Structure 1
């Protein structure tokens, strides 16, 4: 069984996701040919997203790393990046076991009319949190318990923010079930409440459309991308030609990313519509949201603009924050996945997004520094060689769920995780039953 699951995951998300979409389509009553086309379209959209993200990583990411080497000399813990998180998680026994366990729990949730999560790839983060629990206690059973609690926490957050996110991005019936993104959304809620009560600041209206109208040519997202790309190039000490090429590549990402997301959604919409009909017929009208990757949101103009601006901001914060030891490196090109769901909470306001995400970055830098010994131990559990670099960490893994699980297991072990699990289940019932009834 484990070898079959390893083989399936080994197919890669661009292959196993279309298969899952096809199977879901058949279950929800979509004709086989239409379900297959939906699966193929989602797969092609996923390839397109990966190509664009690869373009961003290969160009901007490389320049950012060079820039980090120039200006991050005083920091001694390397940000190895969350990109290795998925391969690491699924290379462990815990990661492979978590998949069937999660699917069983998700099947129960579907029967209750809650979210169905087809984003199997992002099971890696709940698995990572389970590995954090295991790294703290040295107990494999604690790791399994932690991973299961984390899966339910991920779905709880997806359900809490589903309406706000789907309305802002225009994705009916879709829930984003990506822990890194959802964690930021929860932080954005109190920050936005504070912003609403700051005189003057609460009057600033600066969404991407307003900026485009006010600044004309220089407010266009493509132009913003080109300018920021060139600035990063110059900070990385590139010559003009190389900086200009980087600027064009960054501008291209700003233009192409939304089109790839649109293709992704083109494939998903027939399945989402069929899921709604299925719920009406078989589940007494209870809605079933489809959980998907945060990649669907990163093409939004405010997300992309804020993501690019967070690069120099994070480096500056890393250098000036007292006590921080993390050198932003591997995650620099991928901040969009940590901040994308903060943008709907800030109502697309660019100024609020930059300020709010900067405050969030402070917490991630400190948490990633504190978690470094534990994350290094996680790599050792997975038999990854971290070389002679000492401790390693990940800025985007320095989020509150990782801190919560580390503190809970350090203080109370399995009991701490059980308490979190009971609270999460109670909140799931409230969000999906009591709150849903009030809204209807």
Structure 2
């Protein structure tokens, strides 16, 4: 048993570029896709995610340094470090409850499909860390393994149902037929951000302002191209960070490259998913003629859209500004700044790519997220104790991905409420 767990932990430690192709391959076989085709699809998906990760790495490395220098330049006093989603995910996978939750999460998903509660078959195994993370939080707060399992399953049930609700909007706007996005943080921000975006679209004066990649390109010609928008945004951020003109231009080129390359990486990934999606649709139609099943995948599929990534980049300096002016906030945004397009994916789709409305809604949601992440910091810091590199920082740790996600924060509050019952 111990050896088996070691093997599982080893495979999971290889990350989504290995886990997802393995999952895709076996899902393809299950849906009667020929082994050779399933293998080719799986490898293509893996390559697509490698490309996406390279572009995200380019974004994170360049944007992270610029953001940190911007913070230092303006002398910001923030005591909680935003360690970012990779650290939160690693801590979730390393938590005591992770091993037992893997089969439970899969079994619950299959059961919910069987009873027609959800249409989403969540094959994004790496992002199970969102469910495991709340399980770890529940265990830290109450010390009870059964409560930890309960809150992890509760999170899964809510995320799958919300992913179902938003799937038609996601499929239409991002051009992802048969796909839903059950990424925990994306759903959490969308739950608050989509209603806020709707309200913004009803405000007189503001509701008539339409700014989209298409309108920008139409009005500004070549300057409205996504890569040129990335260039301009990068230069502005670089200058705010105190870069010289040459270094600011280098940052602009990097962000322009992100705007150009990300949609192409997503396209490669979608080429790999297409045979699996077709196989699943054919298989399910023959057995459940009245059923529609969505393949649940990483919200990374949505960040390549010019409107969404524009919203995310614009929100970077806004997030830093909000961190300074919001009373009670102690979080220094850093690790998750490059992840903001994940948080705005539902919001941008619901506003049909209106960048203006999406940025306003995103700013409001992130403001709330900063306060939640501040409140979450003590438990988040305790969750990180299994990762040696973070115990040496000497400060509290949180993240927008976990601490600032509304569903995770609500489950923290629920766990703290019932904790006396377990003592």
Structure 1: how far apart are the matches of 2:75 and 2:339? 18
1:107-186 equivalences in 2 (<5 Å): 107-112=110-115, 114-186=119-191
1:17 aligned onto 2:23: no
Question: 1:388 Cα deviation (Å)?
Answer: 4.7
Indicate the residue corresponding to 1:306 in structure 2. Answer: 311
Task: Say whether residues 1:222 and 2:215 are aligned partners.
Answer: no
- Contact between 2:23 and 2:125, CA under 8 Å: does it hold in 1? no
TM-score, length-normalised on structure 2?
0.94
TM-score normalised over the length of structure 1: 0.90
Match of residue 285, structure 1, among 282, 290, 295: 290
* Secondary structure of 2:180 counterpart: strand
Structure 1, unaligned runs of 5 or more: 417-440
Give SS of 1:184's match: helix
Aligned partners of 1:248, 1:197: CA distance in 2, in Å? 37
Task: Give yes or no for contact 2:88–2:384 (8 Å, CA) kept in 1.
Answer: no
Equivalent residue for 1:400, pick from 406, 409, 423:
406
SS at match of 2:296: strand
Deviation at 1:69, TM superposition (A): 2.5
**1:63 corresponds to 2:69:** no
- The 2-side partners of 1:338 and 1:345 are apart by 13
| Structure 2: distance between partners of 1:10 and 1:374 | 23
Deviates more, 1:128-137 or 1:313-322: 128-137
Contact 1:65 1:330 in 2 (8 A): no
Aligned to 2:100: 97
Match of 1:197 among 197, 202, 214: 202
Deviations 1:253-283 (A, max 9, x none): 1000000000100110111111111111112
1:341 counterpart SS class:
helix
Structure 1 distance, partners of 2:253, 2:56, is: 15
Match of 1:6 in 2: 9
**Tell me, which stretches of 5 or more residues in structure 2 are unaligned?**
none
CA distance in 2, matches of 1:217, 1:317: 31
Which runs of structure 2 are paired with 1:305-384 in the superposition (5 Å)?
A: 305-380=310-385
Give the match for residue 73 of structure 1: 76
Deviation at residue 38 of structure 1 after TM alignment: 0.8
Asked if 1 retains the 8 angstrom alpha-carbon contact of 2:197 and 2:347, the reply is no
Partner of 1:27: 30
Cα displacement string for residues 227-273 of structure 1 (whole angstroms, at most 9, x for unaligned residues): 11112222222222222111111101100000000010011011111
1-structure distance, mates of 2:8, 2:107: 14
User: How much has 1:140 moved relative to structure 2?
Assistant: 3.1
- Whether the 8 Å contact between 2:19 and 2:126 is mirrored in structure 1 is no
| Residue matched to 1:426 | none
Residue 223 of structure 1 and its aligned partner are, at CA, apart by 0.9
Cα distance in 1 for residues equivalent to 2:267 and 2:293? 22
What is the alpha-carbon distance in structure 1 between the residues aligned to residue 115 and residue 389 of structure 2?
40
1:133 and 1:312 mapped to 2: Cα distance?
33
- Kindly state the Cα deviation for residue 124 of structure 1 after the two structures are TM-superposed: 0.3
Distance 1:385 1:59, change over 3 A: closer
Q: Compute the displacement of 1:153 (Å).
A: 1.9
What's the offset of the Cα at 1:375? 0.9
- Per-residue CA deviation, residues 384-414 of structure 1 (Å, 9 max, x unaligned), is 7432533111123212112211111122349
Aligned residue pairs: how many? 416
CA offset digits 1:355-395 (Å, max 9, x no partner): 11011111011111111112112223667743253311112
**3-state DSSP class of the match of 1:392?**
strand
Find 1:409's aligned residue among 396, 404, 415: 415
C-alpha distance in 2 between matches for 1:26 and 1:104: 18
**Cα root mean square deviation, aligned:** 1.9
Shift of 1:120: 0.3
In 2, distance between residues paired with 1:410 and 1:63?
A: 37
Shift of 1:291: 0.4
| Cα pair 1:79 1:395 within 8 Å, conserved | yes
| Aligned pair partner of 2:50 in 47, 50, 55 | 47
Q: Deviations over 1:320-373 (max 9, x none)?
A: 111111111111122111112211111210100111101111101111111111
Change (3 A) 1:162 1:413: farther
Preserved contact between residue 19 and residue 125 of structure 2 (Cα < 8 Å): no
Is the CA contact (8 Å cut-off) linking 1:110 and 1:116 kept in structure 2?
yes
1:243 to 248, 253, 260: 248
Task: Check conservation: 1:188, 1:346, Cα contact below 8 A.
Answer: no
Distance 1:248 1:17 in 2: 31
Aligned-partner Cα distance in 1 for 2:239–2:72: 14
Specify whether residues 385 and 223 from structure 1 end up closer, same or farther in structure 2 by C-alpha distance, changes over 3 A only.
Answer: closer
Counterpart of 1:429? none
